[in-house]
């Protein structure tokens, strides 16, 4: 089931909701308001390269300790 991120336009809280059906009404978990906006969420994935080593790319260079993204092979 997809996980969607929302922001309440009344109390400004940010929360996540597991939704099977996007037509279902979402209410703020903090204040109960229906005045919410779905946010564009970042995602990550895991893949196995030719070496069989599991690589999980992430934003920035936090996937390795190298100072150069070209050195770690996740770019």
For the chain, domain boundaries: 1-25
Enter the pTM of the model. 0.54
Q: Which residue has the higher pLDDT, 61 or 1?
A: 1
DSSP 11-58: T--EEEEE-S-TTS----TTT--S-EEEPPPP----EE-TTS-EE---
pLDDT at 74 > cutoff 50: no
Q: Which residues pair with 18 in a beta bridge?
A: 3
Q: Could you read off the pLDDT of 16-48 as tens digits, one per residue?
A: 999 888 888 999 999 999 999 999 877 666 666
């Amino acid at each position: 089931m997809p996980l969607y991120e929302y922001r309440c336009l009344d109390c400004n809280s940010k929360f996540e909701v597991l939704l099977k059906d996007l037509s279902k009404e979402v209410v703020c978990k903090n204040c109960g308001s229906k005045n919410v906006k779905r946010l564009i969420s970042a995602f990550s994935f895991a893949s196995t390269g030719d070496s069989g080593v599991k690589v999980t790319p992430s934003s920035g260079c936090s996937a390795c300790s190298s100072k150069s993204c070209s050195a770690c092979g996740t770019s």
